[in-house]
Amino acid sequence: MSHPSRTTPPAPLQVKAAPLPYVSLLEHRLLTQIDLVVIHCTELPDLAMAREFAETVRYASGTGNSGHWYVDRDGHTQAWVPPERIAHHVRGWNLRSVGIELVNRGRHPHWLHARHQAMDVPYPDAQIAALVALLQDLQARLPALRLIAGHQDLDTEQVPAEDDPGVLVARKQDPGPLFPWERVLAQVGLERLVP
Protein backbone atom coordinates (compact mmCIF):
# COMPACT_ATOMS: atom_id res chain seq x y z
CA MET A 1 0.00 0.00 0.00
CA SER A 2 1.41 3.39 -0.86
CA HIS A 3 1.47 5.98 1.85
CA PRO A 4 0.08 9.48 1.38
CA SER A 5 2.70 12.19 1.26
CA ARG A 6 3.58 13.35 4.72
CA THR A 7 3.09 17.03 5.41
CA THR A 8 5.70 17.06 8.19
CA PRO A 9 8.74 14.90 8.80
CA PRO A 10 8.02 12.13 11.28
CA ALA A 11 8.96 12.81 14.88
CA PRO A 12 11.69 10.55 16.25
CA LEU A 13 10.01 7.63 18.00
CA GLN A 14 11.09 7.01 21.57
CA VAL A 15 9.08 4.44 23.50
CA LYS A 16 9.80 3.42 27.08
CA ALA A 17 8.99 -0.20 27.96
CA ALA A 18 6.78 -0.28 31.06
CA PRO A 19 5.01 -3.66 30.95
CA LEU A 20 1.97 -4.20 33.15
CA PRO A 21 2.45 -6.76 35.93
CA TYR A 22 0.03 -9.23 34.32
CA VAL A 23 1.35 -9.10 30.73
CA SER A 24 2.39 -12.78 30.80
CA LEU A 25 -1.24 -13.73 31.61
CA LEU A 26 -2.66 -12.07 28.49
CA GLU A 27 -3.46 -14.36 25.57
CA HIS A 28 -0.76 -14.65 22.91
CA ARG A 29 -1.37 -14.08 19.17
CA LEU A 30 0.54 -13.79 15.93
CA LEU A 31 1.41 -10.29 14.73
CA THR A 32 -0.15 -11.21 11.38
CA GLN A 33 -3.56 -11.28 13.10
CA ILE A 34 -3.44 -7.52 13.76
CA ASP A 35 -5.09 -5.42 11.05
CA LEU A 36 -6.58 -2.63 13.19
CA VAL A 37 -5.31 0.04 15.57
CA VAL A 38 -7.84 1.66 17.92
CA ILE A 39 -7.31 5.20 19.21
CA HIS A 40 -8.51 5.86 22.74
CA CYS A 41 -8.20 8.60 25.28
CA THR A 42 -7.70 7.69 28.91
CA GLU A 43 -10.52 9.92 30.20
CA LEU A 44 -8.28 10.39 33.23
CA PRO A 45 -6.26 13.49 34.11
CA ASP A 46 -2.77 11.99 34.00
CA LEU A 47 -0.63 8.99 33.15
CA ALA A 48 -0.28 7.92 36.81
CA MET A 49 -4.05 7.52 37.18
CA ALA A 50 -4.19 5.65 33.87
CA ARG A 51 -1.51 3.27 35.14
CA GLU A 52 -3.38 2.65 38.39
CA PHE A 53 -6.54 1.88 36.40
CA ALA A 54 -4.70 -0.46 34.02
CA GLU A 55 -2.99 -2.37 36.83
CA THR A 56 -6.31 -3.10 38.54
CA VAL A 57 -7.25 -6.75 38.05
CA ARG A 58 -10.79 -7.00 36.66
CA TYR A 59 -10.96 -10.54 35.25
CA ALA A 60 -10.65 -14.06 36.65
CA SER A 61 -7.57 -14.48 34.43
CA GLY A 62 -5.74 -12.01 36.67
CA THR A 63 -5.72 -9.29 34.01
CA GLY A 64 -7.31 -5.86 33.60
CA ASN A 65 -8.24 -3.24 30.99
CA SER A 66 -5.51 -1.39 29.14
CA GLY A 67 -4.15 -0.30 25.81
CA HIS A 68 -0.85 -1.42 24.35
CA TRP A 69 0.77 2.04 24.22
CA TYR A 70 0.17 5.24 26.18
CA VAL A 71 1.07 8.66 24.81
CA ASP A 72 1.26 11.46 27.36
CA ARG A 73 0.40 15.06 26.60
CA ASP A 74 4.07 15.97 26.11
CA GLY A 75 4.57 13.12 23.63
CA HIS A 76 6.28 10.79 26.10
CA THR A 77 5.26 7.27 25.02
CA GLN A 78 5.21 4.05 27.00
CA ALA A 79 4.60 0.45 25.93
CA TRP A 80 2.51 -1.37 28.55
CA VAL A 81 1.49 -4.48 26.56
CA PRO A 82 3.48 -5.95 23.66
CA PRO A 83 1.46 -6.28 20.44
CA GLU A 84 1.73 -10.08 20.43
CA ARG A 85 -0.45 -10.08 23.58
CA ILE A 86 -4.19 -9.41 23.43
CA ALA A 87 -5.05 -6.43 25.64
CA HIS A 88 -8.57 -5.71 26.86
CA HIS A 89 -9.20 -2.28 25.33
CA VAL A 90 -12.31 -2.47 23.09
CA ARG A 91 -15.21 -4.91 23.33
CA GLY A 92 -15.47 -7.32 20.41
CA TRP A 93 -12.32 -6.18 18.57
CA ASN A 94 -9.41 -7.13 20.83
CA LEU A 95 -8.23 -10.23 18.94
CA ARG A 96 -7.45 -8.31 15.74
CA SER A 97 -6.42 -4.93 17.17
CA VAL A 98 -3.90 -2.99 19.19
CA GLY A 99 -4.90 -0.01 21.32
CA ILE A 100 -3.22 3.37 21.72
CA GLU A 101 -4.30 5.47 24.70
CA LEU A 102 -3.80 9.24 24.61
CA VAL A 103 -3.72 10.92 28.01
CA ASN A 104 -6.71 13.27 27.99
CA ARG A 105 -9.19 14.13 30.76
CA GLY A 106 -12.20 13.46 28.55
CA ARG A 107 -15.35 13.38 30.70
CA HIS A 108 -13.50 12.67 33.97
CA PRO A 109 -14.70 12.32 36.69
CA HIS A 110 -18.39 12.08 35.69
CA TRP A 111 -18.07 9.90 32.59
CA LEU A 112 -21.70 8.86 32.40
CA HIS A 113 -23.48 11.93 33.82
CA ALA A 114 -25.96 13.50 31.38
CA ARG A 115 -24.77 17.02 32.21
CA HIS A 116 -21.08 16.21 31.81
CA GLN A 117 -20.67 14.82 28.28
CA ALA A 118 -18.45 17.49 26.74
CA MET A 119 -14.98 16.37 25.70
CA ASP A 120 -13.36 19.78 25.49
CA VAL A 121 -9.63 19.22 26.12
CA PRO A 122 -7.62 19.53 22.88
CA TYR A 123 -4.76 17.19 22.01
CA PRO A 124 -1.37 19.00 22.10
CA ASP A 125 0.83 19.03 19.00
CA ALA A 126 3.56 17.04 20.78
CA GLN A 127 1.10 14.28 21.63
CA ILE A 128 -0.23 14.04 18.07
CA ALA A 129 3.30 14.07 16.61
CA ALA A 130 4.26 11.19 18.90
CA LEU A 131 1.08 9.32 17.94
CA VAL A 132 1.87 9.72 14.23
CA ALA A 133 5.44 8.48 14.78
CA LEU A 134 4.10 5.45 16.66
CA LEU A 135 1.53 4.70 13.94
CA GLN A 136 4.21 4.92 11.24
CA ASP A 137 6.41 2.54 13.23
CA LEU A 138 3.51 0.09 13.68
CA GLN A 139 2.84 0.11 9.94
CA ALA A 140 6.42 -1.02 9.40
CA ARG A 141 6.27 -3.72 12.11
CA LEU A 142 2.76 -5.16 11.75
CA PRO A 143 2.41 -6.70 8.27
CA ALA A 144 -1.41 -6.83 8.15
CA LEU A 145 -2.10 -3.42 9.73
CA ARG A 146 -4.32 -1.39 7.40
CA LEU A 147 -7.21 0.01 9.48
CA ILE A 148 -7.62 2.65 12.20
CA ALA A 149 -10.67 3.49 14.30
CA GLY A 150 -11.66 5.50 17.32
CA HIS A 151 -13.03 3.70 20.35
CA GLN A 152 -16.35 5.49 19.85
CA ASP A 153 -16.53 4.11 16.29
CA LEU A 154 -16.49 0.52 17.55
CA ASP A 155 -18.40 0.76 20.84
CA THR A 156 -21.57 2.71 20.14
CA GLU A 157 -23.65 1.44 23.07
CA GLN A 158 -25.90 3.96 24.81
CA VAL A 159 -26.45 3.54 28.55
CA PRO A 160 -28.68 5.27 31.12
CA ALA A 161 -26.99 8.35 32.57
CA GLU A 162 -25.84 7.91 36.16
CA ASP A 163 -27.42 11.21 37.25
CA ASP A 164 -30.61 10.86 35.16
CA PRO A 165 -31.53 7.27 34.17
CA GLY A 166 -34.17 8.62 31.77
CA VAL A 167 -31.41 10.00 29.54
CA LEU A 168 -29.12 7.82 27.43
CA VAL A 169 -25.45 8.72 27.02
CA ALA A 170 -22.67 7.16 24.99
CA ARG A 171 -20.74 4.55 26.96
CA LYS A 172 -17.60 5.50 25.02
CA GLN A 173 -16.82 8.81 23.31
CA ASP A 174 -13.08 8.60 22.93
CA PRO A 175 -11.00 9.94 21.40
CA GLY A 176 -13.78 12.53 21.02
CA PRO A 177 -14.61 15.46 18.76
CA LEU A 178 -11.31 17.31 19.20
CA PHE A 179 -9.17 14.45 17.92
CA PRO A 180 -7.57 15.65 14.63
CA TRP A 181 -8.53 12.76 12.34
CA GLU A 182 -7.72 14.58 9.09
CA ARG A 183 -4.26 15.57 10.30
CA VAL A 184 -3.43 12.04 11.47
CA LEU A 185 -4.83 10.26 8.41
CA ALA A 186 -2.89 12.59 6.09
CA GLN A 187 0.36 11.33 7.63
CA VAL A 188 -0.28 7.59 7.85
CA GLY A 189 -1.34 5.02 5.27
CA LEU A 190 -4.27 3.61 7.25
CA GLU A 191 -7.95 3.57 6.34
CA ARG A 192 -10.46 4.70 8.95
CA LEU A 193 -12.88 1.97 9.91
CA VAL A 194 -16.34 3.17 10.89
CA PRO A 195 -18.62 0.09 10.90
Between the alpha carbon of residue 96 and those of residues 19, 92, 183, the distances in Å are: 20, 9, 25
Residue pLDDT, tens place only, 40-90: 999 999 999 999 999 999 999 999 999 999 999 999 999 999 999 999 999
Q: Contact at 8 Å (CB) between 40 and 102?
A: yes
Q: How far is C-alpha 143 from the chain's CA centre? A: 20
Per-residue pLDDT in tens (0 to 9) along the chain, 195 residues? 444 434 444 557 899 999 999 999 999 999 999 999 999 999 999 999 999 999 999 999 999 999 999 999 999 999 999 999 999 999 999 999 999 999 999 999 999 999 999 999 999 999 999 999 999 999 999 999 999 999 999 999 999 999 999 999 999 999 999 999 999 999 999 999 988
CA distance 97 to 93: 6
Taking residue 179's Cβ as centre, other Cβ atoms within 10 Å add up to: 20
Q: What is the pLDDT of residue 12?
A: 74
* Burial track 144-165 (b if 16+ CB lie within 10 A, e otherwise): ebbbbbbbbbbbeeeeebeeee
